[in-house]
Amino acid sequence: MLDIAPSQQAATWLGSFGRALEAGDIEAAANLFAEDCYWRDLLTFTWNIKTMEGQAAIREMLKATLSTAQPSHWRLSGDASTDEGTIEAWFSFETAVARGEGILRLKDGRCRTLFTAMSELKGFEEQKGPARPLGIRHKADPKRETWAEARAREARDLGVHEQPYCLVIGGGQGGIMLGARLRQLGVPALVIEKNARAGDSWRNRYRSLVLHDPVWYDHLPYIPFPENWPVFTPKDKMGDWLEMYTRVMELNYWVATKCISAAYDEAEKVWTVVVDRVGQRITLKPKHIVFATGAYGPPRQIALPGADSFKGELLHSSQYSTGEKFRGKRVAVIGAASSGHDVSVDLWEAGAKVTMVQRSPTTVVKSDTLMDVGFEIFSEKALASGITTDKADMIVASTPFALVPKGQRALYDVIRARDADFYKRLSDSGFAIDFGEDETGLLMKAYRTGSGYYIDVGACELILNGEIKVKSGVGIKSLTPSGILLEDGSELEVDAIVCCTGYQSMNETVAGIVSREVADKVGPCWGLGSGVKGDPGPWQGELRNMWKPTAQEALWFHGGNLALSRFYSKYVALQLKARMEGIATPVYGEPSNAG
């Protein structure tokens, strides 16, 4: 009986909630929530990615959306669970145009967090499982078109005789996953990639690069990695997988294609996009464009007085591929986050003499530790307990961003205690460590600023052994013909400098392709408005501009690591499919850059 009680409580709450909504009693629905409550919605009510914080925000949202959403059929999915007095339950429901799923968490009988997410559009479901396409007509036909012939015709006509509904600019992991989602929903889409082959965005990185996240976290939609895939994927292996994926998922994918310009006709509701495809200028007319150019925008170049006088080689990490030509040479790496560490290791392995110039403290976490305590729901153990990657994605998404810091702070208390000796040794070596302004660690830095962290996969041992030198706590005054003059008056003599100084926001890519005006109109991507350095307010409650409508009609951003790209590609695709089919999509909530 005790095991059934949480499910009974969850069912009772869900029933009351459903009845209140169907009766249009917004006040009764809002009163079912705790005072300190959150409702995160992915499209079902808001046609947005939006978190309502507090009862008042929930009331306002329901006033604006309830009559259109018309929610119904609220049902628990499986048994509820309880943890320290909080009841958690999964559920399904419907709206007028879609089916949804979600997770609720109750405390003392009232809802603390509610998560609702669109699963599929009614009448436009993916053709999978029992609904999969037959693949052949069992009838003799002299005019038969084979699969290969149909694919060749589609590839020949798209962008020439037929225009894509959606143009995805960028054919790395994000663009490829979105292309696959759109393909399965029947949205004519074209993915363009500037490199010569799919996967080259990984292949062209420095030779020693290996994914820092484990395989269970990195699956692509529809085709998971096989069970013998390594836990950490080498970059070239990842590139080959992406190339295979584009072919198997039948993406319309143009390589060696660069986007030159794009302009939106507000009256005709269509983009005019000029691309260069292997030297040929082609004009495309998509209804929507998605910038999937990576997690960030163009390389961030820092001002280095005296750069013109430096006689050695000066390059940004985006231009770095191998340390082979630096064998036996003295190289300074400016920057002490992920790229700075990875490039330093690659240079050391090539036989260079490396000094890392650390301009600000870095959050460092040992890979083994993060695997043990940070990726618990993305692991072999989680799979054995029934937590699939899809289920883990939902669990992560169900936590409002406002509540993530508290959990991360507790996690890093555990990490610092567990690896106290490691952190003391690293600090004693002269390397500056921090865990963020509010001690929330790596994940919050990734969300807020996308910088200042490193998952240790070997570089720290080289620092501790003195194999990689570190200059920390002193700024760069200027470059000299022979190296770097530091603000304490010392000079670091080097033959080459690699600037691992990060990247600008994705909207800066928009500036170069569309216009400065449109780039400023949509504003920067990523960040939560947390108020920490590099992430100015006001508070957003969600990541700026990512995967949702922006201030520029028909312009979207999609990207992030493999996990974020996998999960949110579904919701970008659903938004585009709904618009293509003429389904009303009244967006609740202003775009990220409003005001």
pLDDT digits (tens, 9 = 90+) for 508-528: 999 999 999 999 999 999 999
Task: Confirm if 193 and 255 have CB atoms less than 8 A apart.
Answer: yes
Classify residue 546 by its DSSP letter.
B
Please tell me the distance from the alpha carbon of residue 181 to that of residue 165, in angstroms, as a whole number: 14
Pairing mode, strands 468-472 and 353-358: parallel
Which residue in 17, 542, 513, 47 sits closest to 284, CA to CA? Answer: 513
Which residue in 288, 291, 283, 293 sits closest to 261, CA to CA? Answer: 283
* Model pLDDT, residue 556: 98
* Model pLDDT, residue 94: 98
Q: How many other C-beta atoms can be found within 10 angstroms of the C-beta atom of residue 315? A: 13
Pick the CATH number of 6-121 from 3.30.1330.20, 3.10.450.50, 1.10.260.40, 3.50.30.50: 3.10.450.50
Q: How many other C-beta atoms can be found within 10 angstroms of the C-beta atom of residue 211? A: 21
* Model pLDDT, residue 1: 34
How distant is the alpha carbon of residue 31 from its chain centre?
Answer: 34
Output the pTM of the full model. Answer: 0.94
Burial (CB count <10 Å: 0-12, 13-18, 19+), residue 506: buried
* Model pLDDT, residue 557: 97
Provide φ and ψ at 44, rounded to 5°.
-65, -40
Helix (H, G, I), strand (E, B) or coil at 2: coil
Within this chain, domains 6-121 and 301-372+412-503 share the same CATH topology: no
* Model pLDDT, residue 90: 98
pLDDT means per 10 residues in the chain (595 residues)? Answer: 75 97 97 97 98 98 98 96 94 98 96 98 94 82 86 90 96 97 98 97 86 94 96 96 98 97 97 96 98 85 91 92 93 95 94 96 95 92 95 97 96 96 95 94 93 92 96 93 94 95 91 96 94 92 97 96 97 98 97 76
As a dihedral over the C-alpha atoms of residue 558, residue 561, residue 565, residue 567, rounded to 10 degrees, the angle is -130
Which residue in 357, 291, 347 sits closest to 322, CA to CA? Answer: 347
Q: How many other C-beta atoms can be found within 10 angstroms of the C-beta atom of residue 78? A: 10
CATH top class, domain 301-372+412-503: alpha beta
Please tell me the distance from the alpha carbon of residue 228 to that of residue 169, in angstroms, as a whole number: 32
Burial (CB count <10 Å: 0-12, 13-18, 19+), residue 477: middle
Task: Confirm if 83 and 112 have CB atoms less than 8 A apart.
Answer: no
Fold entry, domain 148-297+505-581: FAD/NAD(P)-binding domain (3.50.50)
**Cβ within 8 Å of residue 66, ≥6 positions away:** 21, 24, 26, 45
* Model pLDDT, residue 481: 96
* Model pLDDT, residue 4: 60
If phi > 0 it is left, if psi is from -120 to 50 it is alpha, else beta; for residue 436 that is left
* Model pLDDT, residue 13: 97
**Residue ranges of domains in the chain:** 6-121, 148-297+505-581, 301-372+412-503
Beta strands in 122-179 (DSSP E): 166-169
